[in-house]
Amino acid sequence: MCGRYILVQKLELIEKRFNVTAPGGVEWKPAYNISPGQVAPVITSDNPKELQLFRFGMTPFWAKKPMYMINARAEGDHNKDDDPKYKGAKGIITKPSFRKPIRSQRCLIIADAFIEGTVKEKLSKPYVVYLKNNVRPFAFAGIWDEWANTETGEIIRSFAIITTTANELLQKLPHHRSPVILDKKHESKWLNQNMPLADVTKLLKPYPADLMNAYPVDPAIKNPRAEGKDLLKPIGERVAPEYDVKTTEGLELQGMGSGKNFEL
């Protein structure tokens, strides 16, 4: 699963990177531990030129009460053993909660990195997982829905991150799932509402493991209310050696957040 992620970019940089505009009143501050229930930036297929803030944890439109579906399995009810070699059907297209959004309510979920635990220890043994070569921000493949509270009239727009089989890096943690990270050239395709469903599901695959890395961080990040860049300080070695980037205690992010360097 992917239940925590990081986005510390300034709003202006997000707008430039994704060629979108944030409406007046939309603000974003560096977030080092985005957790279910928090709002975060997305770009939706029905409004691809605007940056919006939706709640993390999707409530389907038909739900009787608020729900927090943070992930949507690409395989649906298939691959229950999370076999990393699974190449079968994408059951997401038939799941009641996901079959409508995967067809017409897709979104880009903007992130700099994500936080993942191990299979057994979960977030008691967390890792920060990032893309190499300073590829950030990037976009998870997501789906969204709109739910109306019949008692109060409140409208909640919320999203879920699509997950798929674990690539080789995630397997080393070990973890059994990977969030779907879109190649930059596929982001506009993901938002294209006219793209055939078969082409949509072809994008639901693990990101290349050789373009990713991870390092362990303090379990304090397990607390969803925990915040601050100190959460991202490495407490051990990277999962895979890196020789092509400058390293100190961690990987430096340039020109992000307050404009000062910090470790990710």
Residue 262 CA to residue 257 CA, distance in Å, equals 9
Facing residues of 129 across strands? 114, 214
Q: Is the peptide bond before 206 cis (omega within 30 degrees of 0)?
A: no
- Contacting residues for 256 by C-beta, under 8 A, at least 6 apart: 8, 9, 10, 13, 30, 112, 262
Is 2 tagged catalytic? yes
Which tokens go with 29? 């501050």
- Contacting residues for 6 by C-beta, under 8 A, at least 6 apart: 31, 32, 33, 34, 111, 112, 113, 114, 115, 128, 232, 264
Is 107 tagged catalytic? no
Active-site residue identified among 2, 75, 107, 187: 2
Q: What is the pLDDT of residue 256?
A: 33
Q: What is the pLDDT of residue 25?
A: 86
Which tokens go with 174? 């070990």
Would you list the domain boundaries of the chain?
Answer: 4-263
Residue 154 CA to residue 222 CA, distance in Å, equals 30
- Token pair 């992930």 is found at 71
Residue 223: what are its φ and ψ, rounded to 5°?
-70, 115
Which of the four pLDDT bands, split at 50, 70 and 90, describes residue 244? low
Which tokens go with 201? 């599901």
Residue among 161, 112, 157 at smallest CA distance from 8: 112
- Fold of domain 4-263: hypothetical protein yedk fold (3.90.1680)
Give me the torsion for CA of 116, 90, 195, 106, rounded to 10°: -40
- List pLDDT tens digits, range 144-170: 999 999 999 999 999 999 999 999 999
- List pLDDT tens digits, range 43-101: 999 999 999 999 999 999 999 999 999 999 999 999 999 999 999 999 999 999 999 99
Active-site residue identified among 75, 107, 116, 187: 116
Residue 229 CA to residue 209 CA, distance in Å, equals 25
Q: What is the pLDDT of residue 36?
A: 98
Read off the pTM. Answer: 0.92
